[in-house]
Structure 1
């Protein structure tokens, strides 16, 4: 009996420790104030509307632009709703926070929602940006002798596990006649991957903008292959199912404000870069380059898009990258189809 009590105490302690560390690497901001902790996980009952919207965002993207101009904060403040903004290094980390209930809404590329749905995250798709295949690429160092993707066989390739570029890598290897197992995949978040890339610890780096453009500008990285003619590279807006079902007016305001920012951003890449540079700590030329090669315009989730996502999900399952088969349409609310 005493042995069982001790074991129960140890397991309980470990569980508390694991849950406490889920959001430790993220950066949280409420309004203009910064905090090192992610918003605490909360539970919203099925009929309860929230007076706080917790948004997860990454370094770059329309949500990032929206945070910078402050218009969404103003629009929701009129409705009695405050926003908590939390920055994440990538889509997988953002959706991990959504899974544990730390954020309500966020944005990622194509692959993270698939990994998250397979892991049981209660997410739904709200909308998406047009395809931007040139906004992600496989990079090699300036003095690398590698000339083609086929020459990556046996080489070390860094990427953020479960991120959008995971699918780009898979499709580029397939196009070059290689199997996923033919290379040495090194899973690293963007900052660590950049360091490994510059030190020569990896032979190639699969990455998205603005990290991609920054590496071109400051590290003289070369493009081995980008997403053109290989992947679509959509940016998705996502929410927890519970939040989307019970806060439809707030979700509509968010999408409307995103559309307005998109319209402005498309025609003002330099001004956009100048606005975001201090916030992101990335130089203006890199951000302007990234802004010019992405597409803009919020679009609804339709059957064609669902089918594209399903192909990615099926590919990942066949490769053993996700533990089970999923139906992407299960994560789409009827009203958004």
Structure 2
């Protein structure tokens, strides 16, 4: 009866407004739309409530929406923990227990993975310290959710075993290969500063690890700044000498990152992900030989070199501290100083507070 009465009143009001509309067109049109739409919504709400009064706060309905989630994970083969997590399927099983699924997507590097996160096709991933800085500067809505204390021994500036270069100071005027905007780009800047040189004192050769390896072995560059496991592979294959690693120069940390809206909408799922990541991280820390054997066919790097890399890195899935945030801010400020970063950013603005 209530619905029928409202419908009758709507019809009457519309007829009345239509007659006035011919005299005052523009003003009546707005009123007609607003009143008609408003009353129609009332009828719709009344009809919905009349037929399904329990749907508004139904626990079953909410559980189905949460349970049907597809979690999109971005990973790189050389990123040990997420690669191993995918292989073990423990996260897939944990998400499936509540009715959800996991989709894994491989990326060649951190920046394209974060671009996919910006597009909404990746919810969670892991990169080195530099990609999230450039992503934040580009307006990517990401959040730091944990860090991995990978360690300064896991990256270095190397030269060929017969090179006359013995120190960082001797890199002046030399061609140095590294990936632009990478963690080793930051290492190069800090190493030069420690030797009293400027970034402009060298000739940067911006190359991917594969291209840099070819240039290094071919003698087309004088030095190469690279991270593990490519560092260990080059040392094992060529006998390359280290002129400095990142000790006292750069923290060389990795970061677990998530799409901001995913963190806000599914904090419980994010915690499940971090729990499973932490379990695999602890397994990897205790089993470097097994990790090396697992990665060998995927990376095409000998297990012996991979085991060296695994043993000299640090492990952990840790909440960001003020010290870690401050150091990451220093990395960002350095990239802005050498004009690789287009604007200043504040790292602390995108740090998740839930992982405490």
TM over 0.5: yes
CA-to-partner distance for each residue in 1:233-271, whole Å, 9 max, x for gaps? 111100111111112122111111111111111111111
Cα gap change, 1:79 to 1:161, in 2 (>3 Å): farther
Cα gap change, 1:254 to 1:317, in 2 (>3 Å): same
Distance (Å, rounded) in 1 between the aligned partners of 2:352 and 2:277: 19
Query: Which residue number in structure 2 is paired with residue 261 of structure 1?
Result: 280
Q: Please give the residue correspondences for 1:36-51 in structure 2 after superposition, counting only pairs within 5 Å.
A: 51=69
Decide which of 85, 89, 100 is 2:108's aligned counterpart: 89
The question of 1:102 aligning with 2:125 is answered: no
* TM-score between both structures, scaled by the size of structure 1: 0.82
> Which piece of structure 1 moves more, 49-58 or 276-285?
49-58
Q: Secondary structure at the match of 1:275?
A: helix
Decide which of 85, 90, 97 is 1:66's aligned counterpart: 85
More helix by proportion, 1 or 2?
2
Q: Structure 1 segments of 4 or more deviating over 6 A? A: none
> What count of residue pairs does the alignment treat as equivalent?
290
Q: Structure 2 regions of 5+ residues with no counterpart?
A: 1-64
Query: Which residue number in structure 1 is paired with residue 134 of structure 2?
Result: 115
Cα gap change, 1:145 to 1:100, in 2 (>3 Å): farther
Distance (Å, rounded) in 1 between the aligned partners of 2:83 and 2:195: 35
Query: Which residue number in structure 2 is paired with residue 19 of structure 1?
Result: none
Q: Secondary structure at the match of 1:239?
A: strand
The question of 1:300 aligning with 2:319 is answered: yes
Q: Structure 1 regions of 5+ residues with no counterpart?
A: 1-47
- Structure 1 residue 198: Cα displacement: 1.4
- Structure 1 residue 334: Cα displacement: 3.2
Decide which of 251, 254, 258 is 1:239's aligned counterpart: 258
RMSD over aligned Cα atoms: 1.7
Cα gap change, 1:148 to 1:76, in 2 (>3 Å): same
Query: Which residue number in structure 1 is paired with residue 74 of structure 2?
Result: 56
CA contact (8 A) 1:68 1:275 kept: no
- Structure 1 residue 144: Cα displacement: 1.5
- Structure 1 residue 329: Cα displacement: 1.0
Q: Secondary structure at the match of 1:217?
A: helix
- Structure 1 residue 299: Cα displacement: 0.7
Distance (Å, rounded) in 1 between the aligned partners of 2:189 and 2:227: 15
The question of 1:189 aligning with 2:215 is answered: no
Decide which of 203, 206, 224 is 1:205's aligned counterpart: 224
CA contact (8 A) 1:68 1:276 kept: no
Cα gap change, 1:130 to 1:196, in 2 (>3 Å): same
Q: Could you say which structure has the larger radius of gyration?
A: 2
Q: Please give the residue correspondences for 1:89-168 in structure 2 after superposition, counting only pairs within 5 Å.
A: 89-168=108-187
Q: Secondary structure at the match of 1:126?
A: strand
Distance (Å, rounded) in 2 between the aligned partners of 1:271 and 1:131: 18
CA contact (8 A) 1:57 1:87 kept: yes
The question of 1:331 aligning with 2:350 is answered: yes
Distance (Å, rounded) in 2 between the aligned partners of 1:187 and 1:93: 17
- Structure 1 residue 96: Cα displacement: 2.7
CA contact (8 A) 2:79 2:126 kept: no
* TM-score between both structures, scaled by the size of structure 2: 0.77
- Structure 1 residue 131: Cα displacement: 4.8
Query: Which residue number in structure 2 is paired with residue 275 of structure 1?
Result: 294
Cα gap change, 1:197 to 1:86, in 2 (>3 Å): farther
CA-to-partner distance for each residue in 1:210-246, whole Å, 9 max, x for gaps? 1111111123222121111211111110011111111
CA contact (8 A) 1:60 1:210 kept: no
- Structure 1 residue 100: Cα displacement: 3.1
Cα gap change, 1:193 to 1:100, in 2 (>3 Å): farther
